[in-house]
């Protein structure tokens, strides 16, 4: 027999022979999480509540005793044993304010308990992080998974093993949440669920399922080589609505459509009848729509039709004041993806950043061999598309500064993973450097990559380091809020309270 005295806050009453009560394991908050309370902090737990249990006055079963002991341990001594305190850190909390020196971050059950000038709870695992900066993990709003392996692109790469490896690489470089914005097959659903549950040692995963393309149009099949289960190409508004309905049934996080003609490389653009049907059906189902564009005219058309997110920067002409005002008034999110064009030529240019150990460590053997090949480099540099990419990047930088200064909502994305040279992890670090080149301060760029990235996705549990959020962290040497180059000095990353060295 187990002799244990347990006090239940909502027990039926002391005088009843048999009282029905909820144990500490079933005291849940509005989100269904069990809040642990210790040392003055309340910590949401990822553990789901147990069912109601029956407590007898004089005797409880062996099974009930086990549950009660577990509950007691959770709410008492073992809670502090699970608690980690990072002390002496330089804290960048993601909200855009000044960094805090000699701060403490308290972590328990995968979440932030407290951060800033706070006390270390008694019994916590105290870790000295003096000289290190801790900031939120990056939240990518536009990436891809499973499209590339080595230097090859195509449906054959859409495997669980490849995607899990890519999520591990994103995490290694501090990208702790990834949005795979389209071209996803059926395997995505299970991988996303495993990522959410912490069963994958890598970044958390959100995304668009297949996405909506154009028959004989974008995205070019010759470029992506996606499988038939990775993309819809509806030819009628009714087919477009059905495609959105199928994506909704698969619990897509967003809907994406490809509007433009990829610089004239495909013969047709998406017709207004199709994209209006996509947007209307998505909104009717509570889903937001991201649009792939390049030129101002397409951006203006898709925003007028009701799109919620512009998934690439406008790169053909300066954004006019009237359109800037429209974006701001409608609350449209704008993801510039600056690195997309830089990646076209930077490896062939042998730009200084491409030669750093930090960048080289992200390359597969096949890709490293390719970018070091003089013949490949000469071919890229001679391609007219490379000159176009340089011009596009220059315009994209200019437009980002205009839009940011006007208060348009800026998301964080790179199109990483869509081609071999858009390298997961490295692309995101380069995006930060390019945002600073565009005229944002390092602190502003970091906020785009963290708090704003999470806001675009509607995620309130990450992107900032405050009590109650996930312990998704990037630990670096130096102070990236002063010098954005310091963000490349990665020491370790954390996902949901689990740390891994670089």
pLDDT tens over the chain, length 502 residues? 343 333 333 333 333 333 333 233 233 333 333 333 323 333 333 333 333 333 333 333 444 443 343 343 333 333 334 899 999 999 999 998 889 999 999 999 999 999 999 999 999 999 999 999 999 999 999 999 999 999 999 999 999 999 999 999 999 999 999 999 999 999 999 999 999 999 999 999 999 999 999 999 999 998 889 999 999 999 999 999 999 999 999 999 999 999 999 988 899 999 999 999 999 999 999 999 999 999 999 999 999 999 999 999 999 999 999 999 999 999 999 999 999 999 999 999 999 999 999 999 999 999 999 999 999 999 999 999 999 999 999 999 999 999 999 999 999 999 999 999 999 999 999 999 999 999 999 999 999 999 999 999 999 999 999 999 999 999 999 999 999 999 999 999 999 999 999 9
Task: Please count the residues of the chain.
Answer: 502
> Do residues 245 and 277 touch, judged by C-beta distance below 8 A?
no
Please report the pLDDT score of residue 473 as a whole number. 99
Cα 28 to Cα 20, 65, 72, 432, 459, distances in angstroms: 17, 21, 15, 39, 21
Please report the pLDDT score of residue 327 as a whole number. 99
Tokens of 339: 């690195």
CA 140, CA 207: separation in Å to the nearest integer?
Answer: 10
Query: What fold characterizes domain 138-462?
Result: TIM Barrel (3.20.20)
Q: What CATH number is given for 83-135+471-502 in this structure?
A: 2.30.40.10
State the DSSP string of 413-455: EEEETSSTTS-TTHHHHHHHHHHHHHT--HHHHHHIIIIIHHH
CA 113, CA 327: separation in Å to the nearest integer?
Answer: 37
Going across the sheet that includes 409-410, the strands are: 255-258, 289-292, 309-310, 333-334, 409-410
> Do residues 167 and 178 touch, judged by C-beta distance below 8 A?
yes
Q: What is the dihedral of CA 85, 91, 93, 97, to 10 degrees?
A: 150
Q: Do domains 83-135+471-502 and 138-462 have the same CATH topology?
A: no
Q: Helix-strand-coil percent breakdown of the chain, rounded to 5?
A: 40, 20, 40
Global pTM value? 0.84
Cis peptide before 219 (omega within 30 of 0): yes
Cα 430 to Cα 139, 228, 358, 395, 397, distances in angstroms: 14, 33, 12, 17, 13
- Matching residue, tokens 């000044």: 98
Please report the pLDDT score of residue 77 as a whole number. 36
Contacts of 33 (CB under 8 A, 6+ apart): 44, 45, 46, 47
Please report the pLDDT score of residue 67 as a whole number. 38
Determine the distance from the C-alpha atom of residue 51 to the mean position of all C-alpha atoms in its chain, rounded to a whole number.
33
Please report the pLDDT score of residue 73 as a whole number. 36
SS (H, E, C) 180-208: EECCCCCHHHHHHHHHHCCCCCCCEEEEE
* Phi-psi map region of 251: left, alpha, beta (phi>0 left; psi -120 to 50 alpha): left
Determine the distance from the C-alpha atom of residue 54 to the mean position of all C-alpha atoms in its chain, rounded to a whole number.
43
Q: Which residues of 250-266 are buried (b: 16+ CB within 10 A; e: fewer)?
A: eebbbbbbbbbbeeeeb
CA 280, CA 271: separation in Å to the nearest integer?
Answer: 14
Q: Which residues of 203-218 are buried (b: 16+ CB within 10 A; e: fewer)?
A: bbbbbbbbbbbbeebb
DSSP H or E segment with residue 241: helix 237-249
Q: Which residues pair with 409 in a beta bridge?
A: 333
Q: Where are the domains positioned within the chain? A: 18-34+47-77, 83-135+471-502, 138-462
Q: What is the dihedral of CA 54, 60, 64, 68, to 10 degrees?
A: 100
């Amino acid at each position: 027999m187990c002799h244990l005295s347990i006090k239940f806050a909502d027990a039926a009453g002391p005088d009843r022979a048999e009282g029905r009560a909820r144990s500490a394991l079933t005291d849940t908050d509005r989100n269904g999480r069990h809040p642990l309370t210790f040392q003055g902090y309340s910590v949401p737990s990822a553990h789901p509540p147990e069912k109601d249990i029956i407590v007898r006055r004089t005797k409880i079963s062996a099974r009930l005793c086990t549950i009660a002991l577990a509950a007691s341990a959770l709410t008492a001594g073992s809670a502090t044993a699970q608690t980690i305190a990072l002390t002496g850190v330089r804290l960048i909390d993601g909200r855009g304010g000044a960094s805090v020196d000699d701060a403490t971050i308290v972590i328990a059950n995968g979440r932030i308990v407290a951060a800033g000038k706070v006390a270390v709870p008694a019994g916590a695992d105290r870790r000295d992080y003096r000289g290190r900066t801790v900031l939120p993990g990056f939240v990518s709003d536009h990436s891809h998974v499973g499209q590339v392996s080595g230097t090859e692109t195509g449906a054959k790469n859409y495997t669980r093993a490849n995607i899990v490896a890519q999520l591990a690489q994103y995490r290694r470089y501090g990208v702790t949440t990834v949005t795979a914005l389209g071209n996803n097959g059926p395997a995505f659903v299970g991988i996303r669920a495993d990522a959410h549950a912490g069963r994958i040692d890598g970044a958390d995963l959100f995304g668009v399922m297949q996405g909506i393309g154009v028959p004989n149009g974008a995205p070019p099949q010759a470029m992506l080589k996606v499988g038939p289960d990775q993309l819809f190409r509806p030819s009628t508004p009714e087919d477009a609505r059905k495609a959105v309905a199928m994506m909704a049934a698969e619990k897509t996080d967003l809907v994406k459509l490809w509007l433009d003609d990829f610089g004239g490389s495909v013969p047709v653009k998406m017709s207004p009848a199709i994209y209006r049907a996509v947007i209307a059906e998505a909104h009717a189902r509570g889903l937001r729509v991201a649009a792939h564009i390049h030129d101002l005219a397409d951006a203006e058309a898709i925003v007028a039709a009701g799109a919620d997110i512009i998934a690439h920067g406008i790169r053909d002409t300066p954004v006019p004041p009237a359109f800037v005002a429209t974006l701001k008034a409608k609350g449209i999110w704008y993801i510039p993806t600056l690195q997309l064009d830089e990646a076209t030529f930077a490896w062939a240019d042998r730009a200084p950043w491409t030669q750093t150990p930090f960048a080289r460590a992200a390359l597969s053997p096949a890709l490293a061999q390719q970018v070091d090949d003089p013949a490949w480099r000469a071919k890229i540099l001679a391609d007219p598309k490379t000159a176009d990419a340089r011009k596009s990047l220059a315009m994209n930088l200019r437009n980002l500064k205009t839009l940011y200064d006007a208060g348009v909502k800026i998301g964080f994305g790179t199109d990483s993973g869509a081609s071999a040279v858009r390298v997961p992890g490295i692309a995101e670090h380069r995006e930060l450097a390019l945002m600073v080149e565009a005229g944002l301060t390092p602190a502003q760029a970091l906020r785009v990559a963290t708090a704003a990235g999470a806001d675009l996705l509607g995620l309130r549990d990450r992107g900032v380091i405050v009590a109650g959020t996930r312990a998704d962290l990037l630990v670096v040497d130096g102070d990236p809020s002063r010098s954005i180059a310091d963000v490349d000095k990665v020491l370790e990353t954390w996902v949901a309270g689990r740390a891994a060295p670089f």
